Amino acid sequence: MKKFAVMCSLVVVAGCSALPIDGMSRAGWDGPANLPPVGYAKETWVDARGCVFFATGSTSNRGWAPYIGSGLNQVCKG
């Protein structure tokens, strides 16, 4: 039984290692065309192309990840 549990754990770890680490590593998902102004405090941002992003990290170390909709497509208007 212990051997089975170890094998299951190894399968889970191997499967998870193939997943993307961040939202930008998937093909077709772009970062913002332009960043918000300094001091922008809201949690969402719509760039110049009309793509929607949400804030990641702390306010002092802010990053932007794309909203992903159905079909794993980045949410952009137009």
CB 50 within 8 A of CB 77: yes
Give the integer Cα–Cα distance in Å for 45 and 25: 20
DSSP 36: P
Is residue 69 pLDDT above 50, yes or no? Answer: yes
Measured CA to CA in angstroms, residue 36 lies from 55, 65, 67 at distances of 11, 13, 16
Comparing 8 with 72, the larger pLDDT belongs to 72
Q: pLDDT value at position 19?
A: 41
Q: pLDDT value at position 58?
A: 87
pLDDT of 6-55, one tens digit each?
555 555 544 444 444 444 445 568 899 999 998 899 999 999 999 999 99
Could you tell me the pTM of the whole model? 0.62
Evaluate the CA torsion angle 43, 47, 52, 57 in order and state its sign. negative
